[in-house]
Amino acid sequence: MPFVNVGRENSGNVDLYYEDHGNGSPVILIHGYPLNGASWEKQIPVLLEAGCRVITYDRRGFGQSSKPTTGYDYDTFAQDLHRLIGQLDLKQFALVGFSMGGGEVARYIGNYGTKGVTKAVFAGGVPPYLLKAPDNPEGVDKSVFDGIQKAISADRYSWFTDFFKNFYNADVYLGSRISEQAIQASWNVAASASPTASYACVSTWGTDFRKDLAKVNVPTLVIHGDADRIVPFSASGARTAKMIPGAKLVVVKNGPHNIAWTHPDEVNPALVSFLKEEKKLVAAPA
């Protein structure tokens, strides 16, 4: 299995598991919390068929990657991504981030610029800024994040069960767009994650990405479900699309948080069409 070393913790390496398939223009798919790279299974074959080279990886603390007790912040996540890109010697690549993965896309560009980045995709992404603050009244009160961490600390397995009901809007789509078995599979992946990562990542959801988004000057797609109960569209996708000049916005009607699973019939064509469009640079705001 392929791994990239991104650091050390005491006597052990911190390694990220990744998969690299196909030929053509590279597309890096960055998963959401609390899943792993395999969660893109409804997009990978479609992208491969479209002639893309598809790269997925497991964020530190999740999937088959190392599970250190440090490094759960977006500067480190972006650095991990940067090291993966360096190991694979990628020169031109698209970044596609779902949920927390949208934060990686934003912070990577914020810290490393857009050299080599051909396109950016935010799917149900956490940018621009989910935490309520004096200059961000649209955000969520910090007590909500504190309550989530308290529930995770008490019994993360039980909390994951309720979380995934809203992750997929199971009361609406169970038996039609998602099965009990698929939800259970997601729960199994979450249960295998590091307890430290499960807890610590919640704090990162309130990261301020507004300065990062100001540096995005590549063609950008924002795709979001308007019934997202985890990362509300009005607080995230709608604002991100307005902040990035020329960004294309696709709203999936009645779509939950993980539209990549429940609505691939809408997500996949939009994603492939965007990635195949001729690149047109967009000027970043002054």
Q: Which of 152, 150, 120, 49 is nearest to 274 (CA)?
A: 120
- What rounded mean pLDDT belongs to the chain? 96
Q: Which of 58, 228, 236, 263 is catalytic?
A: 228
CB count within 10 Å of CB 18 equals 21
pLDDT tens digits, 3-53: 999 999 999 999 999 999 999 999 999 999 999 999 999 999 999 999 999
| Single-letter amino acid, residue 74 | Y
Max CA distance (Å), the chain: 50
Residue 279 pLDDT grade (very low, low, confident, very high; cuts 50, 70, 90): low
Characterize the bridge pairing of strands 12-21 and 52-57. antiparallel
pLDDT digits (tens, 9 = 90+) for 210-259: 999 999 999 999 999 999 999 999 999 999 999 999 999 999 999 999 99
What are the tens digits of pLDDT across the range 138-197? 899 999 999 999 999 999 999 999 999 999 999 999 999 999 999 999 999 999 999 999
Kindly state the tokens that stand for 85. Answer: 């890109």
Q: Cβ of 194: how many Cβ atoms within 10 Å?
A: 19
d(CA 165, CA 142): 22
- Per the rule left: phi > 0, alpha: psi between -120 and 50, beta: everything else, 148 is alpha
Share of the chain above pLDDT 90, in %: 96
pLDDT for the residue numbered 277: 86
228 catalytic per annotation: yes
Residue 285: per-residue pLDDT: 42
Which residues are CB-neighbours of 131 under 8 A, at least 6 positions away?
139, 140, 142, 145, 205, 206, 207, 208
Question: Of 92-101, 238-247, 251-260, 270-279, where does mean pLDDT reach its minimum?
Answer: 270-279
Is 99 in the active site? yes
pLDDT of 282 reads 42
pLDDT at 1 over 90: no
Rounded to two decimals, the pTM is 0.95
- Could you tell me which of 68, 55, 62, 63 has the C-alpha nearest to residue 6? 68
Q: What DSSP designation does 73 have?
A: S
Report which of 26, 67, 33 is spatially closest to residue 160, judged by C-alpha positions. Answer: 33
**What fold characterizes domain 3-276?**
Rossmann fold (3.40.50)
Residue 66 falls in the annotated catalytic set? no
Backbone angles phi, psi at 133, to 5 degrees: -150, 165
User: Of 31, 224, 257, 263, which is the active-site residue?
Assistant: 257
Which of the residues 99, 186, 198, 236 is marked catalytic? 99
β-strands 93-98, 52-57 pairing:
unpaired
Angle between helices 100-112 and 74-87 (to 10 degrees): 70
